[in-house]
Amino acid sequence: MKEFIINTDEIANLISSLPADKWDILAPAKDGKSFDYVLSSDKPIINSEAPPSKISFKEYFFPKSETLFYYKREANEISLTEPKFAEKKLLVLAAKPCDAASLPILSKVFNWDYKDEFFNKRVNNSVIIGLSCAYSDESCFCTSVGLDRNNTKGSDIFLTPFNDKQYVLSVVSDKGDSFVKEFLPNLTEFTGTKETKEFIDNKPFDYKKTKDWIAANFENKIWAETGEVCIGCAQCAFVCPTCHCFDIVDENCDLNCGRRIKNWDACQFGVFTKHASGHNPRNSQEKRYRQRVSHKFDYYYEKFGEVLCTGCGRCTRGCPAGIDIGEIVFSISNQ
């Protein structure tokens, strides 16, 4: 891995010198008390100690609402038009390792049988600069799902703080390599050693074993106990970097035109599995919550060999009912 030294001024220069008509920059910024990824913020925050944003950056790759095509009827002819796709490039700056890692996870789903061209285009048009993380709270558990503070999964370039003014910049992917060559050609090579903060996982589990327990415990009281306090919103799924369910609907503008749209959806909603007949196979929150955990730690693992979770803890921090997914999986794996 090629490594360079980059100082804060050089990062500021990079931000101001990227041609604004070709590049958007997405970086964390502070809004009141919470952090959020903000597009073209004038105060991007590059700080490893910052907490994760309230909601992940997945919206920039898998928008909350996306037009697939427009339809129109004239006389008796029906015509379809494709939506305009903004070909602008996206630089994500200071992504948490637990955010960056979600892109390869989502990619597997969006390329498994059908290739989602919109998602792929957005990923191809982006460069992710990950930032080593020095934050942690009770909700984090990245090391339990095979990641860590310095994990470069999903990043094209990775920054590790070296001192107050300097970062070690590691080139992770070919895309990252071309980006550095084009926009940061004058960096000095780095040869020293980096020091980073250790992460102490307070709910360690082995994600490779969790799967079997979940499969064997389809009926366990933990689902009922969680389901009775879970109020069934989709906060957890919508803030999550890896949840990817969507609903496809048609919206008409009048009798003769409209568009087909893909919107975020989530398994915590009662209507998610409700059949037209009125029958609902997941007719209680207990079953719906079990689906959430099973999909993430069993079904996805079964299919793709990794879990559908980066341990970012967002779902937990924001849960209005105080449900902690890491704690649930931890207790599962310790039973």
Closest C-alpha among 222, 171, 240, 154 to residue 6: 171
CA distance 167 to 7: 6
CA distance 26 to 92: 5
Closest C-alpha among 257, 261, 283, 258 to residue 270: 283
Binding of residue 287 to ligand SF4 (CB under 6 A): no
Asked whether 241 and 314 are in contact (CB, 8 A), the reply is: yes
- Convert residues 213-232 into a mask of x (bound to ligand SF4 by CB under 6 A) and - (unbound): -----------------xxx
- Convert residues 230-259 into a mask of x (bound to ligand SF4 by CB under 6 A) and - (unbound): xxxx-xxx-xxxxxxx--------------
**Of the residues 268, 286, 297, 324, which one makes contact with ligand SF4 according to CB under 6 A:** 268
CB of 97 or CB of 161, closer to ligand SF4: 97
Binding of residue 58 to ligand SF4 (CB under 6 A): no
**Of the residues 312, 328, 329, 332, which one makes contact with ligand SF4 according to CB under 6 A:** 312
CA distance 144 to 156: 23
In DSSP terms, 30 is beta-bridged to 35
Which helix H or strand E contains 236, and what residues bound it?
helix 235-239
In DSSP terms, 77 is beta-bridged to 74
As measured in angstroms, the least distance from the Cβ of 249 to other proteins is: 6
Query: Which range binds ligand SF4 by CB under 6 A, 57-65, 74-82, 248-256, 308-316?
Result: 308-316
Q: Please choose which of ligand SF4, other proteins, none residue 311 contacts, taking the beta carbon within 5 to 8 angstroms, the exact cut-off set by kind.
A: ligand SF4
Which chain residues interact with other proteins by CB under 8 A?
31-32, 34, 54-55, 64-65, 137-138, 202, 225, 228-229, 231-235, 237-239, 247, 249, 251, 261, 263-264, 266, 269, 271, 285, 318, 320-324, 327
Sign of CA dihedral 260, 265, 267, 268: negative
